[in-house]
Amino acid sequence: MVNNAPIVSKPDKKEVKAKKPYRNKCYLPFILYPSAMYKNDKGHAFIEELNMDEIGGDFVLYIGIPFCRVRCKGCPYFVARLSKTDPRNEEDIFVDALIKDIKHWASYKKWNTGSLKAIYIGGGTGTILKTKNLKRIIDKIFECFNVSDEYCLTLEGNASDYDEEKLDYVANSEITRVSLGVQSFVPEVLKIVGSPHAAEESIKIIKALQSRGFDNIQMDLMFNMPGHSLEVWKQDLQTMVDLGIKHFTAYLYRIHDETPQAAAIKRGKVAPVKDPESPLVKAMRREAKEIAESFGFKMYMADHYAKPGYENKYNHWSWKVYTDALAIGPGGYSYFDRYRLGTEKNVDKYIERVNKGEFLISTISMKMDEQIEKERYVIFTLLYYCVEFEAYRARFGSEFLDDFKDIVEKLKRKELIDIDFDQIRLTQLGIEWHANVLLEFFNPMFWSDQEALKENNWSMNIPMVELAAKNRDYWLGEF
């Protein structure tokens, strides 16, 4: 593919220094905090240490479907492959166990009295299930939990999983939002990254949903994939706009260790990706922002663009409002009662434990004290580029500017934030370096944690543990 990156003049040293508040830029679009997770030696008995019989509050629910048809070459989230023929009836066996697990969690007062604000069916691949099994799961959620009248239910997956039956069900069910992992509309690009669907399928399924009156469609796009060009990226963005999509994410393609893509690049079979600060990648970021703004999208949080009213409510409740999060299914991470809890990816082990009437709680974080809770809250709400003083005060009974005085002064000095009477807000420079800004709120005790690398981590937690294993100065050191 032709590299159409514009020629950019080289800035002088003074300009570079002014625009680089840290030595190394962090490119993670999210931060999980605290990152360190430890083996839960107590197994199911750990549930006795949690406040499960209290009256519940607002919460979100994640349902993990641990199957894919194929493994995308660069994906770190893959769990297990499920063939279309399914000769061992793996899907039905798993869904039977998942429904038992849903009922078990919902038997506790904390969850059956709380208000379920948003539901996310992901994985793996949420859409991979047969329509009848998808319906069974959703029916059970609405039967067991107190779902808010203004709920949002997102179904994540691939266009290749849809048939006429599933299209009809989705358009007329409790599902309110569909997320499609499109990545690109160009077949050559999809082949390089090992995507499980054809470009034409995505367009066909989007139009089929829209023809049924379903228009709340979210699309994942990626840039800086191997062999990617600015011309192809512009083409993908324009196709997205022409389809009338209401929400899209533009993610920087990342090479994760121990994935097929990393191995292919190492062997020289696939071209390496460009440096994230190269002129080409900068032009791709700029193109996404300019096209989005010209067609009425707003980048309301890191890498997320939406038309007004189509923002991701699951993220809103779990990150900005900061509610409890219950994850059910292999590969998921929960957060409640001041713990992070993880259910490992092993599908057979999950089914075995559920059928014994137990929860598979594989890993847990330390129990967070109030200071760490404050840090976690700030890190998450800053994904929306601001911290609102009143919301912080209402949750913790203290003043944000007092609790984080030294960090705020540092960020202000580096011109990464502006301070208003009711909030701090990231400047344009702060948005560009937003992940580093979030890392400023990491507790010093969590840096240089080499021991956490030895624990059983998976999916999104792997890059977080690798990040925190570095010395603090690697990400936050001065020039």
Digit-coded pLDDT (tens) for 394-424: 999 999 999 999 999 999 999 999 999 999 9
443-462 average pLDDT score:
93
Which tokens hold the place of 298? 């707003």
For 62, the 3-state DSSP assignment is strand
pLDDT digits (tens, 9 = 90+) for 326-380: 999 999 999 999 999 999 999 999 999 999 999 999 999 999 999 999 999 999 9
In the predicted structure, residue 17 carries a pLDDT above the cut 60? no
Which tokens hold the place of 354? 């559920």
Q: Where do the domains of the chain lie?
A: 39-320
Please choose, from the candidates 66, 136, 153, 128, the residue with its C-alpha nearest in 3D space to the C-alpha of residue 96: 136
Q: How far apart are the first and last CA of the chain?
A: 37
Distance, CA of 97 to CA of 101 (rounded, Å): 6
Could you tell me what percent of the chain has a pLDDT over 70?
A: 94
pLDDT digits (tens, 9 = 90+) for 140-165: 999 999 999 999 999 999 999 999 99
Task: Place 76 in a pLDDT band, splitting at 50, 70 and 90.
Answer: low
Contact 54, 319 (CB under 8 A): no
In the predicted structure, residue 322 carries a pLDDT above the cut 90? yes
- Which amino acid appears at position 359 of this protein? F
Please choose, from the candidates 64, 100, 106, 74, the residue with its C-alpha nearest in 3D space to the C-alpha of residue 362: 64
Count how many residues are written for the chain. 479
Q: Which of 25-29, 35-39, 118-122, 332-336 has the lowest mean pLDDT?
A: 25-29
Nearby residues of 342 by Cβ (< 8 Å), 6 or more positions away:
37, 332, 333, 334, 361, 362, 363, 364, 458, 461
| Superfamily of segment(s) 39-320 | tm_1862 like domain (3.80.30.20)
R_g of the chain, CA atoms, integer Å? 22
What is the per-residue pLDDT for 73? 67
CB under 8 Å, gap of 24 or more: what pairs does 270-275 form? 270/192, 270/226, 270/227, 271/226, 271/227, 272/226, 273/224, 273/225, 273/226, 273/228, 274/224, 274/228
Please choose, from the candidates 363, 367, 364, 376, the residue with its C-alpha nearest in 3D space to the C-alpha of residue 443: 376
128-135 average pLDDT score:
98
What is the per-residue pLDDT for 78? 67
Distance of CA 338 to the CA centre of its chain: 20
Distance, CA of 222 to CA of 439 (rounded, Å): 24
Please choose, from the candidates 243, 325, 343, 286, the residue with its C-alpha nearest in 3D space to the C-alpha of residue 37: 343
Specify the residue for token string 């107190």. 146
DSSP 40: -
Torsion-angle region of residue 415: left (phi > 0), alpha (psi -120 to 50) or beta?
left
Distance, CA of 353 to CA of 362 (rounded, Å): 11
Please choose, from the candidates 314, 353, 356, 312, the residue with its C-alpha nearest in 3D space to the C-alpha of residue 330: 353
Which tokens hold the place of 11? 């800035």
In the predicted structure, residue 259 carries a pLDDT above the cut 80? no
Contact 374, 381 (CB under 8 A): no
